[in-house]
C-alpha cells in the first residue's frame, strides 16, 4: 500500500469535499441541501495524518469596496475539528499583523472528506540524477505551474505551490520560492494542536460537536521557503531567510 507521504511525493493534490448539515437548527439561514469543495494547496503530513490549508480567499468587503478581512480554513482528514482563520486588522496595512483562529466542530457537516487528485509529473527530484535539470527546464519553458514536496526541520512532509523558479542556463542548478501566504503559526506543528484540542474537549466534541467552537490566540506563519538543487531548505524570516537544513527528499512537480 502506498503511504501517505509517498502519495505526496507522487504529486497527488487534495480538495476537501463538504456537505453541510442543512437540517441543523443552529443554522442562521435555512438552506437547501448542497455539496461544495475547497482546494487545499498547502499540505502537511506526519506520515499518518494529512493537514490541508486553503488560501485566505474568503474576503469580506466593506461598503467602500475595500477588503477588510481575508479568511481561510485548515482541515485534517477524518478529524472532528477544523480551523477558520482570519487576519486581524485591515488587509494590506501595517495593522494586519495578528490572526484570529476559531476551532470549530466538524459534525455540523454530514460529510467532510479529502479527495485526492491524480498524480502529477516529477520534473526534478533528489533521488534520481539530481544533476539532470533537462525535464525541469523543459517544464519551465512550457509555462507549467509547479509545486514542491520536501521534509522540513520538524519532520513533516510539506507540499507547497511554487511562486517563482529559475534554472541556470549553464545547468549548474536552480532556485525556487514557494508561494507566500499567511497562516496560523500552529501550521508549523499542526498535529500537536489538533491532538491537544481533541484531548481537552473530547466530551464536548462527542456530545455537542455541531456547536463546538473556541477561539485560539496565535501568531502568524509565512509559507515562503527557498530551496535549491542541493536540497537546502531555507525558511523566510524577517529580513531574509534562515537555513533549516538539507532535505534528503525533495521533488518538484508540474501541473
**pLDDT exceeds cutoff 60 at 96:** no
Coil, helix or strand at residue 119: coil
Coil, helix or strand at residue 8: helix
pLDDT in tens, 14-29: 999 998 887 766 555 5
Q: What are the backbone angles phi and psi of residue 120, rounded to the nearest 5°?
A: -110, 170
Looking at 4-18, 173-187, 192-206, which range is the least confident one?
A: 192-206
pLDDT in tens, 124-161: 999 998 899 999 999 999 999 999 999 998 899 999 99
pTM summary value: 0.87
**pLDDT exceeds cutoff 50 at 93:** no
What are the structural domain ranges in the chain? 4-116+185-219, 121-180+222-254
The grid cell for 225 is 521557503
- DSSP letter string over 173-234? -EEEEE---EEEGGGGSHHHHHHHHHHHTHHHHHHSGGG-EEEEEE-EEE--EEEETT-EEE
According to DSSP, the residues that pair with 226 across neighbouring strands are 177, 234
> How high is the pLDDT of residue 249?
94
Amino acid at each position: 500500500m502506498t503511504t501517505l507521504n509517498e502519495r505526496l511525493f507522487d504529486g497527488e493534490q487534495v480538495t476537501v469535499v463538504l456537505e453541510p448539515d442543512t437540517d441543523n437548527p443552529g443554522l442562521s439561514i435555512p438552506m437547501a441541501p448542497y455539496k461544495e469543495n475547497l482546494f487545499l494547496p498547502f499540505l502537511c503530513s506526519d506520515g499518518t495524518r494529512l493537514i490541508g490549508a486553503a488560501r485566505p480567499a474568503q474576503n469580506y468587503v466593506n461598503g467602500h469596496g475595500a477588503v477588510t478581512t481575508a479568511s481561510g480554513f485548515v482541515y485534517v482528514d477524518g478529524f472532528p475539528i477544523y480551523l477558520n482563520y482570519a487576519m486581524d486588522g485591515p488587509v494590506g496595512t501595517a495593522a494586519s499583523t495578528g490572526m484570529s483562529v476559531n476551532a470549530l466542530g466538524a459534525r455540523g457537516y454530514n460529510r467532510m472528506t479529502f479527495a485526492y487528485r491524480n498524480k502529477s509529473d516529477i520534473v526534478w527530484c533528489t533521488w534520481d540524477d539530481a544533476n539532470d535539470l533537462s525535464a525541469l527546464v523543459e517544464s519551465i519553458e512550457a509555462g507549467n505551474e509547479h509545486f514542491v514536496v520536501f521534509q522540513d526541520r520538524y519532520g513533516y512532509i510539506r507540499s507547497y505551490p511554487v511562486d517563482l523558479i529559475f534554472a541556470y542556463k549553464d545547468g549548474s542548478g536552480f532556485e525556487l520560492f514557494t508561494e507566500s501566504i499567511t497562516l496560523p503559526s500552529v501550521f508549523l506543528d499542526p498535529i500537536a494542536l489538533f491532538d491537544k484540542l481533541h484531548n481537552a474537549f473530547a466530551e464536548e466534541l462527542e456530545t455537542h460537536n455541531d456547536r463546538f467552537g473556541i477561539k485560539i490566540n496565535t501568531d502568524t506563519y509565512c509559507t515562503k521557503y527557498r530551496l535549491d538543487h542541493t536540497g537546502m531548505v531555507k525558511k523566510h524570516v524577517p529580513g531574509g531567510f534562515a537555513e533549516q537544513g538539507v532535505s534528503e527528499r525533495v521533488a518538484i512537480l508540474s501541473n
